Amino acid sequence: MNRRDALKSMVLMMGGTMVGASVILTGCAPEDRIEGLEFSERDIAFLDEIGETIIPTTDTPGAKATQIGAFMVLMVKDTYNKEQQEIFVEGLNNLRKEFKDQVGSDFVEASPEERTNFLNQVNQKAQAEGQQGPHYIHMLKDLTVLGYFTSEIGATKALRYVETPGRYDPCVDYNKGDKVFAL
């Protein structure tokens, strides 16, 4: 199974709710995209830190180890339409500014606790608003989870990976605390 097939399976399991899901399922890029959209190395490092805050390093590697920032950039540029790209870019700029205003430092220089508390506040605010359509915090969470669990690190270190083709065993014992199988 290649990465595209794994992404399609993940999107179908999520019910196709992820932003950009239609592109992954059909293989066609949206026609209305921001021409020349580029992200700097600073932006990618910022996205790495956001991903690491969402899925931190514990006894398994975190999202930063999977180069999640580069994955997010690829997905935003290739699968998001113009409106979604604008929401994402504006959200990143707002997140950067609001964090500095509220905490007094840059996101990448702050402690993990400050980052987590801030992202939780943003998430709670987005849920309370009940906004229709995509919100940048949901985009960030979706992309982090998708990128992490479809990466080699996520599939082999955080999940239980069994290489295919393998034998079909319909009755695999599950013990409490076992890792979930990777796609």
Please say if the pLDDT value at position 53 is more than 70: yes
pLDDT score recorded for residue 6: 56
Q: What is the torsional sign of CA 109, 123, 68, 30?
A: negative
pLDDT of residue 90: 95
- Number of separate helices (H) and strands (E) present in the chain: 8, 0
Q: What is the model's pLDDT at position 28?
A: 60
Q: What does the alpha-carbon distance between residue 71 and residue 128 come to, in Å, rounded to a whole number?
A: 29
Confidence band, pLDDT 50/70/90 cuts, at residue 121: very high
pTM of the shown model: 0.77
Question: CA 47 → CA 26, 42, 55, 136, 159, distances in Å?
Answer: 27, 9, 12, 12, 23
| Residue spans per domain, the chain | 3-158
With pLDDT > 70 as the criterion, what percentage of the chain qualifies?
79
Query: Considering Cα of 73, then 78, then 55, then 162, what sign does the dihedral take?
Result: negative
Which residue's entry shows tokens 């599939």? 155
The arithmetic mean of pLDDT across residues 40-67, rounded, is 96
Question: Does position 1 have pLDDT exceeding 50, yes or no?
Answer: no
Q: Taking Cα atoms as reference points, which of 135, 17, 34 lies closest to residue 80?
A: 34
- Provide CB contacts within 8 A for 2, sequence distance 6+: none
